Chains A and B, each alone.
Chain A
């Protein structure tokens, strides 16, 4: 088992093979892990918010749901979730929004306690893997709950996150990019301080009664698309 500890304001990226469990655990409340997923060998295939939400008739993510790519395939499945609601609509913080909400901080003044932004964290970790700001797209904000009223008003709703966890099972070879930066709609003026730990382990094979596979017919067809592509490439590497 491999673990990675991401401090508040921290970031991480890495390649992960198919068939792994990624368990994300928040140490404190108001945790928010802004997350992008790309296919490792062709990162132009990536998590697609609209395709994932339309297929599963949901505006948020929890256990049983899957994260789909723009190619109609499953990047990762949510096999376990003790948090309850993961936001898909609020995006990432920027330098401007961070300075405006939490006050201007700089490395020169605050050293490593300065407040990082989601945009800068994502761009740096993407650039490490030869992606540029043009590859930015809608992320998932794990651990955050954002509700839309009938008139469209978007509202951050506080949910306990301390000690909760969500487990993703990878269904393809992935590039994972994460930023432990605040949810843009979290109204509190104090920068969050929750550490988030990522624990990686080998996953059990997907069984016929897998909760993500049987969640809806749409998910089954997305798994079938994924397996078909993998069978066509079998033996290639």
Chain B
């Protein structure tokens, strides 16, 4: 059995050459279409911020990212450089091409008011949560409905599973300025909730902004 490893891989892309640059405040959402070949970088600006992310095949929005198809395909629970993110149909959506954090979760899901009442206490019901952000963002597009919510990626979040089958939420794998970079292998719609959770250490009890940058496909002259 090998031990836990976190390997950082960097990117040579310069923010100055990005065609898109946007800050997502803590607790906000973001939905955006990527063309095949475009590169998306998500930056954990201040460190230890969970960025809950879903992906859809833009040409068939009913085909959503599949956490289990992705981890079963690579026979590994954690996402990092080289991981290919696939949809329920098996369609390849994106590949992680750089990662200075080294490990990202995809079984921890997104927080919701209802799961907060179960996990913490009934009086957490009014607290802002990722599932509300996801639903608000999806409702802005007629092609989506609540049925399109499925287990997501939690960039910069660590949810270790032990060989005995214990599952915990751990903090501390990310840090200020760490980023993950993904290339779209098909036209992909990206949905982000910059997590507002205050009840566990996934945001170090202090949700902070995240940055998204997009670069044009290599060798492409077109612009967004």
Contacts and interface: CB of A to CB of B under 8 A. Distances in A.
A115 interface: no
Interface residues of B, number: 53
Interface in B104-138: 107-110, 112-115, 117-119, 121-122, 131
Interface stretch (B18-26, B38-46, B144-152, B185-193): B144-152
A227 to B, nearest CB: 13
- Which of B3, B112, B118, B150 has the most CB atoms of chain A within a 10 A radius of its CB? B118
B169 interface: yes
A49 interface: yes
Given A50-B108, A221-B122, A44 B68 contact: no
Contact of B165 (A59, A152, A154, A222): A59
B88 A60 contact: no
B72 to A, nearest CB: 5
Contacts of B35: none
Given A50-B151, A221-B117, A58 B165 contact: yes
Nearest to B75: A154
A145 to B, nearest CB: 9
Contact of A133 (B62, B78, B168): B62
A40 interface: no
B68 A70 contact: no
Contact of A137 (B131, B151, B162, B163): B151
B118 A55 contact: yes
A54 B165 contact: no
A57 B77 contact: no
A51 B112 contact: yes
A103 B126 CA distance: 53
A185 to B, nearest CB: 6
Interface in A127-167: 132-138, 147-155
A91 B1 CA distance: 23
A218 to B, nearest CB: 5
A185 B72 CA distance: 7
Contacts of A68: 115, 118
Interface in A64-123: 68, 70-73, 85, 89-92, 94, 96, 119
- Which of A44, A57, A90, A151 has the most CB atoms of chain B within a 10 A radius of its CB? A151
Contact of B2 (A72, A73, A91, A153): A153
A170 interface: no
Contacts of B103: 152
B147 A54 contact: no
Nearest to B4: A150
Contact of A58 (B3, B148, B167): B167
B4 A133 contact: no
A134 B147 contact: yes
Interface string A23-36: 00000000000000
A135 to B, nearest CB: 5
A153 B114 contact: no
Given A89-B77, A137-B151, A225-B118, A49 B107 contact: yes
A138 B151 contact: yes
B178 interface: no
B109 A59 contact: no
Nearest to B152: A50
A225 B113 CA distance: 12
Given A150-B1, A225-B117, A89 B68 contact: yes
A48 interface: yes
Given A55-B118, A150-B2, A218-B118, 9 more contacts: A44-B145, A48-B115, A50-B108, A59-B165, A89-B77, A96-B90, A136-B150, A155-B75, A225-B114
Interface of B: 1-5, 61-64, 66-69, 71-72, 75-78, 88-90, 103, 107-110, 112-115, 117-119, 121-122, 131, 145-151, 160-163, 165-169
26 contacts: A48-B115, A49-B109, A53-B107, A53-B167, A58-B165, A68-B115, A70-B131, A71-B114, A72-B112, A89-B68, A89-B72, A89-B77, A89-B107, A119-B88, A132-B62, A133-B88, A136-B66, A136-B88, A138-B151, A147-B165, A148-B161, A149-B2, A153-B1, A154-B75, A221-B117, A225-B118
